[in-house]
Amino acid sequence: MEQSNKITIGILGGGQLGKMLFEAGSPLNNRYRFLESSPDCPASLVCNNQVVGGLMDADKIETLAEGCDVISYEIEHVNIDALRKLEENNKSVFPKSNVLKTIQDKGLQKQFYRNHNIPTLDFILSTSANLQTSVERWPDTKFVLKHRKGGYDGKGVQVITKSQYAELLSSKDDSINNDSGFVIEKFVPEVTEVAVIVGVAQDGTITSYDPCEMVFDPKSNLMDYLIAPSSLSQEINNRCKEIATKVVRSFDSPGLFAVELFIDDNDDVFVNEIAPRPHNSGHHTIESCITSQYEQLNRILLNQPLGDTRLMCPAATCNIVGPPDVLGEYIIDNLDEILSISGVYIHMYGKASTSPYRKLGHFTILSETKEEVVNKMKQVKELLKIKST
Ligand code: ADP
């Protein structure tokens, strides 16, 4: 088969982000190989070049890298030492392993921002052993307690008061024991959350997407929907892009990064955290931007010119998650009705079974105005039901 080039991209992880990355490479017949322990993972539906194995398994990572020219990852929880070894053997790993090392640990991330004069919320670091003393010393009654490592999608993060902490302590709750330690962070009430996707090419060229605004479901702590363009002023949007570009530049590595930002009610902007990979907050770019976040990462990995990031029309994306009361095999109800609405794009990730709040897919809505986007989104949310088979 004709190929756009002779480069094979190796990806650690075979979830939905890998699936969408491979889909974006299909028009140019890009070549991929990926590592994932489950043979029927989402990426296996679109790529048959899979190494079956765990993402912490150094030998399997080496097997993946054999025959690949460049390595990246679609999840942070991978064996960094194995990636470093690949780099020592002159294999390109983007983003570089030292970036991932910082990002895997919320404590190191916060210190990195502080050391690079990047605005981030006040924090202190604590071990499990001295957590009680650290909480007592923290100046505010309410604060955010975060596990330094291993959390995702809000797991390992809790907003609590000092008295709630005391209850957790007396009931010996598991959440206040963590081998990697904790970040205690200032709580921002009524926070606005936006994300800026930034791409860094191998020659150092940087480009960013306009910020999109995220709205979270308070029950699951997962993103409920995101909307672009954001409702922020042009001045704040520009500041978000500047800060996001500065932080990514400080990491000094090619790659695609999602910079999550908090904005408080004084319009001050703070970096929350970074994902060194395609991100939920960029799903809408598939249909709404000239170049999607997935195509952008493909271009970065293949050392091609970066694509135009402009948003072509207002867009919203919602996660499709498993309902709290459905387990096992499932169907989507009302699909025909949903598909008869113009400007609705459904992406299902091919996961065989559902469980409460499992991310099963997402849908994106495009329309001419933000108002129409929000109305159609509400309509689809009403119609779209995940049901047991
Ligand atoms: P994760 O890495 O699991 O996504 P985050 O640190 O992004 O964890 O926190 C998850 C969510 O918790 C955020 O998206 C936000 O809604 C809320 N949150 C986290 N930190 C704060 C904070 N300091 N103030 C207010 N809300 C916060």
Nearest partner of 229 among 180, 144, 289, judged by Cα:
289
Q: Is the CB of 157 under 6 A from ligand 1?
A: yes
Are 276 and 323 in a shared domain?
yes
Specify if 98 maps to a domain: no
pLDDT of residue 216: 75
**Domain stops at, among 163, 186, 209:** 186
Whether residues 210 and 311 fall in one domain: yes
Domain that holds residue 380: 192-388
Same domain? For 148 and 293 the reply is no
Residues of the chain scoring pLDDT < 50: 1
Q: What is the pLDDT of residue 151?
A: 78
pLDDT score for 4: 53
Residues 46 and 126 in one domain: no
State both tokens at 59. 């030998």
Distance (Å, rounded) from C-alpha 13 to C-alpha 74? 6
Kindly state whether residue 44 falls inside one of the protein's structural domains.
yes
Question: Is the beta carbon of 236 within 6 A of some atom in ligand 1?
Answer: no
Q: According to the 3-state scheme, what is the secondary structure of the chain?
A: CCCCCCCEEEEECCCHHHHHHHHHHHHHCCEEEEEECCCCCHHHHCCCCEEECCCCCHHHHHHHHCCCCEEEECCCCCCHHHHHHHHHCCCEECCCHHHHHHHCCHHHHHHHHHHCCCCCCCEEEECCCCHHHHHHHCCCCEEEEEECCCCECCECEEEEEHHHHHHHHHCCCHHHCCCCCEEEEECCCCCEEEEEEEEECCCCCEEECCCEEEEECCCCCCEEEEEECCCCCHHHHHHHHHHHHHHHHHHCCCEEEEEEEEECCCCCEEEEEEECCCCHHHCCHHHHECCCHHHHHHHHHCCCCCCCCCECCCEEEEEEECCCCCCECEEEECHHHHHCCCCEEEEECCCCCECCCCEEEEEEEECCCHHHHHHHHHHHHHHCEEEEC
Using the mean position of ligand 1's atoms as its centre, give its distance from the Cα of residue 142 in Å. Answer: 14
Distance 154 CA to ligand 1 centre (A): 6
Residue 105 lies in a domain: no
Domain match, 202 and 145 both: no
Task: Indicate the top mutation candidate among 75, 212, 272 to test ligand 1's pocket, ranked by most ligand atoms within 8 A of CB.
Answer: 272
The reply to whether ligand 1 has any atom less than 6 angstroms from the CB of 150 is no
User: What would the pLDDT profile of 108-140 be if each residue is shown by its tens digit?
Assistant: 999 999 999 999 999 999 999 999 999 999 999
**What's the structural domain count of the chain?**
3
Residue 105 Cβ < 6 Å to ligand 1: no
pTM: 0.95
Residues 299 and 353 in one domain: yes
